[in-house]
Amino acid sequence: MDTAKVIVWIIILVLLGGASYFGYKYYVAKSATDATSVAQTGASTPPDQVQGQDITVGTGEEAKLGLVVTVEYEGKLTNGTVFDSSAAQKKPLVFTLGSEGIIPGFQVGVNGMKVGGERLLAVPPSLAYGAQQIGTIPPNSTLIFSVKLLKVEAPAPAATTTPAPTKK
């Protein structure tokens, strides 16, 4: 086996190991037909994994860590109570995938979607708010999200400062 092939296999193994180490596991629920059943199909799924079902598979650019994504979403409790939505905010949610400020389970669920895609997510408490009560969300709640990926783009380049010219 030549050196290039060995290097490629090492890179693949490192990437796969890193992805699983950082918790970017994704379980596609095959039998789910609505948001509630997405949550209910998780009986044998470890409690720290996001479950999801693609309603529509997108055909555009894929959402990946470090890219800026624009989504429309609706968040519900397992009893159907809506706790948040982009419609209520009157604007889509824009964030950098992998950044702070968005619950980890939501990011795991969006990661890998393609523009135009729609996905149902069941986010366990361990990847949402855990034992904390947040607004109308009770402690230890599994959250159900309906997400539509509208846009994926590269982040804006970081501003660089150029030193002022000096006189000689």
The CATH code of the domain at 26-153 is 3.10.50.40
Q: What is the mean pLDDT of residues 32-60?
A: 68
Lowest average pLDDT, out of 114-118, 140-144, 153-157, goes to: 153-157
Give how far Cα 81 sits from Cα of 5, 106, 129, 140, Å. Answer: 52, 18, 16, 15
Q: What is the pLDDT of residue 111?
A: 97
pLDDT digits (tens, 9 = 90+) for 112-124: 999 999 999 999 9
The answer to whether 115 touches 69, Cβ cutoff 8 Å, is no
The answer to whether 78 touches 141, Cβ cutoff 8 Å, is yes
Does 100 score more than 80 pLDDT? Answer: yes
Q: What is the pLDDT of residue 19?
A: 42
**Residue 53 β-bridge partners:** 120
pTM above 0.85, yes or no: no
Q: What is the mean pLDDT of residues 25-53?
A: 53
